[in-house]
Amino acid sequence: MPTFKPEKLLRASTVTEVLDVFKKYGDKARIVGGNTFLNELSKRGLLPEVKVLVDISGLDLGYVKYENGTLLLGSSVTIQQLANEIRVKSDNSLKALSLAANAVHPVQVRNTATLGGCVSTGLPFLDLPCALLALESTITLCSIDSNGAEVRMDLGDYLSQIFKLADQSFIKDIQVQSAKAGIRSASSFQKFGLTGFDYGVVSAAVKLSKDAKDVCTRASIALCGKGLDLERMSVAERKLVGNKLTQEILEQAAESASSEFKNMTDDIPIRGSVSFKRHIAKVMVARALRDAAHDLEIDYGR
């Protein structure tokens, strides 16, 4: 098995220093945040080409701020820090974040792993990226191409280009819009694993907004898991928008989501067959939608 033997550990104190390392070493450099997943990859012999590690803890990116209705999360915020954030726990529109953070196990990982590191892995079965995608988050990147200038982009766009961007940029922070004044919004996250400490076999995150007549004005559904892509379920979302949030409509959206996800084949079953995962996807989306609808005080039976 190839061995992981980095030759240098550089502690950056500025964005320029980080980007200079990327310019010099390219894909032979990796950023060190919480170092939980990098350590896991190294044990599997998947990082033999990495020679330089860049510690960004000196950039002071462990902040949680609220600016004009937006939750601003620095990339060095730990998962436990996010799980403990009172406003995230108390705001129904951000509830999916709290649920996803608390779904990460064991607690030693939550205490160490960082939000930026979790998102930048590009792995489709981690919990927080799914929640952040459903919450229509945006990110701020610092990259070589922009000469260090900050570039903001949708999280979905970032995930679609992640391997292209991996060795030339890093996440500075993540922005999540909370509910706007006068708009009722709620979100939820549901996860199915084979054990309590397992990566998600299928996980679902949703966000719903409604008007005074319980008509859905905006909907977001994200699915991810072992062997699945992390992506939005656009067809299922369209079944919700413009319709009253009844039990029948929510069930139709869950059914749609279960048939919509892709990148699964029976030839390579990962933690279960396609048919099994489609069933679990329907159940997870239905649970998430019902939880969000409950927080929106839509009473149709739980």
Q: How far is the first Cα of the chain from the last one, in angstroms, to the nearest whole number?
A: 51
112 plus 142 within the same structural domain: yes
Please indicate, yes or no, whether residues 160 and 191 belong to a single structural domain of this protein.
no
Average pLDDT, the chain: 88
Residues 202 and 280 in one domain: yes
CA 210 to each of CA 88, 189, 246, 297: distance values in angstroms, whole numbers, following the listed order: 20, 18, 12, 11
Read off the pTM: 0.92
Residue 189 and residue 277 share a domain? yes
Does the residue 274 lie in any domain?
A: yes
Question: Does one domain contain both 126 and 230?
Answer: no
CATH number at residue 89: 3.30.465.10
Q: Is residue 122 within 8 Å of residue 131, measured between CB atoms?
A: no
Residue 34 lies in a domain: yes
pLDDT tens, position by position, 63-106:
999 988 899 999 999 999 999 999 999 999 999 999 999 999 88
Tell me whether residue 2 is in a domain: no
Question: Residue 302 — very low, low, confident or very high, per pLDDT cuts 50/70/90?
Answer: very low
d(CA 200, CA 43): 21
Residue 56 has pLDDT above 50, yes or no: yes
**77 and 131, same domain (yes or no):** yes
DSSP assignment, residue 202? Answer: E
Does residue 255 sit within a domain?
yes
Domain co-membership, 200 together with 238: yes
Residues 231-253 have pLDDT tens digits of 999 999 999 999 999 999 999 99
Tell which residue, 187, 63, 197, 84, has the closest CA to residue 137.
187
Q: Give 33's contacts (C-beta < 8 A, 6+ positions apart).
A: 56, 57, 75, 76, 113, 114, 116, 117
Domain that holds residue 274: 184-295
Strands across the sheet with 52-55, in order? 8-11, 52-55, 29-32
pLDDT in tens, 179-213: 777 789 999 999 998 877 778 899 999 999 999 99
Q: How confident is the model at residue 121 (pLDDT cuts 50, 70, 90)?
A: confident
The count of domains in the chain is 3
Burial 72-105 (b: 16+ CB within 10 A, else e): bbbbbbbbbbbbebeebbebbbbbbbbbbbbbbe
